[in-house]
Structure 1
Amino acid sequence: MKALLCLLTTGLVARFNLVSGLNLTIGNGVLHRRSYFYVGGSYTPTSGSSNESDVVVSSGQMYVEHLVPLTVTHKLPIVIIPGNGMTGTNFLNTPDGRTGWADYFMGQGYELYIADQPSRGRSPWQQNIDGPQMTFDALTIEQRFTATTKFDLWPQAHLHTQWPGNGSRGDPTFDNFYTSIVPALQSNTEASLKVKHAGVALLDRIGTRTSAVSPQPAIVLTHSQSGQFGWLLADARPSLVKAIVAIEPMGPPFINAVFPPFTPARPFGLTEIPVNFLPPINTAADLQTAVVSSTTNFTCIQQVSPPRKLANVSKVPVLLVTSESGYHAVYDSCSVEFLKAAGVSVDHVNLADVGIYGNGHMMFMEKNGQEIVDRVVNKWLKQIV
C-alpha cells in the first residue's frame, strides 16, 4: 500500500509517496541524502612564482556527488562518470524536466557517486597548471546529438526520433541542455591521467569505507569519452570494479571514425594511456594490428592473431549499450570485437535489437530513457550483481 505524507515546512507542502515499501518519492524525485566531497587533488606549485615552495594550489581533484536513498537495498554502489563536456547534471534530470537515471537507480535502492571529471565543472581547472580547454559549439551538439536527422552525417542518423523537442537552438529543451555544457580538457591523454588518479582514489575510498580487510567494489557507469576511464579503472583496481556499464564508449580501436580527420588515436586499443596486457607490452607499438574492414567514414582495426589479453580488464564483466541512430551504431561492434578478442566478457545490446527504437548518443536524456535503464541496464545488473 502506498502511504502519503505531508510535510509542512516554512509554508511549503511536500508530497512523499512510498514506493514498493522501499523508497519515498518527493514529487517526481526519490527522497535521498545528498553530500559531496573531492578526491585525487594534490598541492602543486603555480607556474612562474618566485617562491614555488610556498605558492601552491590544489589541482587534479575530482568533485563527487554522493546520493543515498532512504533505503539502500544494494550493497554495491554505482559510480557515474559523464562524457566529454558534460557534468554530473546529465544524470540528475533531463533537459525537459523529467527525472533522470540517478532517480531511477535510487528508486531501485542503489547508492550513487556522480563525478565531474578533473578540470571540469565543479572540479577546478587551474590556469598555468592544467592543459588547454575546449567547448563544444552549439552546431556540433545539434549535428551529433540532438538534431541528427537534419544533417544526416552517418547512415543511421535519420532514425533519430527520441530527443525531446526539435534539437535546435531556440527550442527550450535544447537550450537547457546546451547551456549545461562546460569547457573540458583538449587532451584525452591528460584527461585520462587525471581521471585515473582521482578515480582510483574514489574506488579506494568506497572500497575501504566498511572494511579494510574485505574491500567493497563498485559498479562503474561510463558514457562516450568517459568510456576509456572504465577500462583504466578496471585495469588499475580490478578487485574494486564489480562491473562496467559502458554507454556508447569512446572508440573505435586505434583510430578516429565518422568525423574527420580519421587520425590514429587510442594507441592501446580503447585507451590513450597504457593498460596491462598478457603477454606484457613495453610500448603501444608492441600491439600488432591489422585493418579488418573499411568504409568511407570508418576503419575497423584489430589485433592480429593471437591477440594479447587485457590482463585486468578481462576480470570485469561489461555491458555495452548502443543506440539505433547514434554515430556509435557505425563502430561499436568493432570496439566489442576488440574487447572480446582481448578476453573481456561483453554483453553488447543494440537497442533496436530489443525493440527500443529511435535513440541517439544522449539516450539517457531522451523520451524513453527510463525504458532503457529499466529494460536493459537494470535487467543486466540484476543478472551480474
Structure 2
Amino acid sequence: MKKSNTLVSSLWHLGIVLFLLGTTSSAYAQEKLKPLSIAHQGSFAIGGTKVTEPGTFELQNALKPQGQTFHGDHAYVFYQIPVNAHKYPLVFLHGAAQSKKTWETTPDGREGFQNIFLRRGFSIYLLDQPRRGEAGKSTVAASVTPTPDEQFWFTQFRIGNYPDYFPGVQFPKDSASLEQFFRQMTPNTGSFDGEVISDAVSRLFTKVGDGILVTHSQGGGPGWLTAIKNNKVKAIVAYEPYSGFVFPTGELPAPIKSAGLFGDLKGVEIPLADFKKLTRMPIVLYYGDNIAKEPTAVWNKDHWRGGLEMARIWAATVNKYVGDSTVVLLPEVGI
C-alpha cells in the first residue's frame, strides 16, 4: 500500500482482518452490550428504469397493462448513520445467492459487519442488488424454480465438502446455524447484469457522496464497474471476488483452467482509459483458507484457486499503471 493512503488503506489492510475473524476480547464483549447510538436510519430504492405500456389507462379495466407503468431494476438500500459518524460511509454489496443479510446477524447469532462497524462510528449502507431480495422488481422475465441446491452452497463457500466440514473451519457446526445459513440463500428474479447493478450502486454514491465500497464474491465485478463510473468511490475492500475481473484492451490474460463447476475463468476487456480509473483509489482483496495452491480435482478448492490466481494478475495490472491494489491471502499472514 502507498504511504499516501495510510488513512484509508492501512486501516482496511490491518483492521478489517481483525473484524473478519470476529473479535473475542473482553473489551469487545462489553462493547457489544452497549446500546447503539443511531442518529438517523431509513431505506430507499435507487437506480433502475421505468417501463410504460402503450395505450390508455382505464379505471374500469385497471387490471389491464395498457397505459400503466412498471418500475424495476433498482437497488434497495437500508442505511444507518451513527452519532458522530466518520467521514466515509461504508457501502456493502453482497455476492451470489445472497442479499444484504450477508452483513447482518451471523447464522449463529453474532453481530455481523453492520453492527461491528456501526459501533466503530461508520455509517453503513446495505444493498440488495437489482433483481435480488427486496429489490426483486425486474424488467426482464425469469422463472424461480425451487431446485434443491443448498449442499452446493455449503461446498461452494468452502465451509467444507458436504457433509464434512473443513478442519479448523470457524463456521458453527450446530444444525440450527446451518439452517439459518441455508435459509438466507436468495434467488434472482431476473438475469444477473453487472451494468444494471453498477448503475444503481453508482447512483447511490452520487446520492450519499464519498465513501468506501465493500463487496463480496460475485459483487466484485459490479464493484469495479461502480468505481469506474463514479469517482466518489474512495476505496474498495473486496472479499473473495471471482468473476468480472476487468483488464485493458489487449491485456486480457489467458483463461485460467479450473476443475470448478463453472469451467475456465475468463477476464473482461475494457478501454484502457476506463481501467486507469481503478488506479485512483486503494483496493484490498481478501481470500480465506482451503484454496488449492496447485490444480486439483477437488472442485471447490480449484474453483477458488482460479479466482485467486486471476485476482493476483488483475492486481498486478492495476499496479503496473501506478495503482494501489493488494491481494491478501489470510493463511499467508498467519490467519
Using the TM superposition, name which of 103-112 and 32-41 deviates more. 32-41
Tell me, which stretches of 5 or more residues in structure 2 are unaligned? 1-25, 58-64, 292-300
- Aligned residue number for residue 132 of structure 1: 142
- Aligned residue number for residue 280 of structure 1: none
Structure-1 separation of matches of 2:265 and 2:97: 26
CA drift at 1:222: 0.2
1:176 matched to 2:184? The reply is no
Query: How many residues matched?
Result: 280
- Aligned residue number for residue 74 of structure 2: 61
The counterpart of 1:194, out of the listed 171, 193, 196, is: 196
Residue type of the alignment partner of 1:223: H
Structure-2 separation of matches of 1:292 and 1:61: 32
- Aligned residue number for residue 34 of structure 1: 41
CA drift at 1:300: 7.1
Residue type of the alignment partner of 2:82: P
Residue type of the alignment partner of 2:70: V
Distance 1:101 1:303, change over 3 A: closer
CA offset digits 1:232-282 (Å, max 9, x no partner): 011001x2011000000123xxxxxxxxxxxxxx5xxx15xxx8x4xxxxx
Structure 1's consecutive aligned runs of 4 or more residues displaced over 4 angstroms after TM superposition are 48-53, 133-136, 157-160, 292-304
Residue type of the alignment partner of 2:112: G
Structure-1 separation of matches of 2:35 and 2:55: 48
The counterpart of 2:325, out of the listed 319, 340, 346, is: 346
- Aligned residue number for residue 313 of structure 1: 278
- Aligned residue number for residue 232 of structure 1: 225
Structure-1 separation of matches of 2:253 and 2:48: 40
CA drift at 1:133: 5.4
Give 3-state SS (helix, strand or coil) of 1:65's partner: strand
Task: Tell me if the contact between 2:88 and 2:211 (Cα under 8 Å) persists in the aligned partners.
Answer: yes
1:161 matched to 2:169? The reply is yes
Residue type of the alignment partner of 2:169: T
CA offset digits 1:17-42 (Å, max 9, x no partner): xx99xxx9674763334311111133
CA drift at 1:231: 0.4
TM-score, normalised by the number of residues in structure 2? 0.72
The counterpart of 1:291, out of the listed 254, 261, 282, is: 254
Spell out the pairing of 1:199-218 with structure 2 (5 A cutoff): 199-207=201-209, 217-218=210-211
Structure-1 separation of matches of 2:136 and 2:268: 38
Distance 1:131 1:96, change over 3 A: same
Task: Tell me if the contact between 1:81 and 1:117 (Cα under 8 Å) persists in the aligned partners.
Answer: yes
TM-score, normalised by the number of residues in structure 1? 0.64
Distance 1:90 1:133, change over 3 A: farther
Distance 1:311 1:99, change over 3 A: same
More strand by share: 1
More helix by share: 2
CA drift at 1:69: 1.9
Tell me, which stretches of 5 or more residues in structure 1 are unaligned? 1-18, 208-216, 252-265, 278-285, 357-385
CA offset digits 1:302-337 (Å, max 9, x no partner): 899xx9571211212110000012543443132221
CA RMSD of aligned residues (A): 3.3
Distance 1:201 1:300, change over 3 A: closer
CA drift at 1:87: 1.1
Distance 1:147 1:341, change over 3 A: closer
Distance 1:225 1:296, change over 3 A: closer
Task: Tell me if the contact between 1:196 and 1:229 (Cα under 8 Å) persists in the aligned partners.
Answer: yes
CA drift at 1:187: 3.3
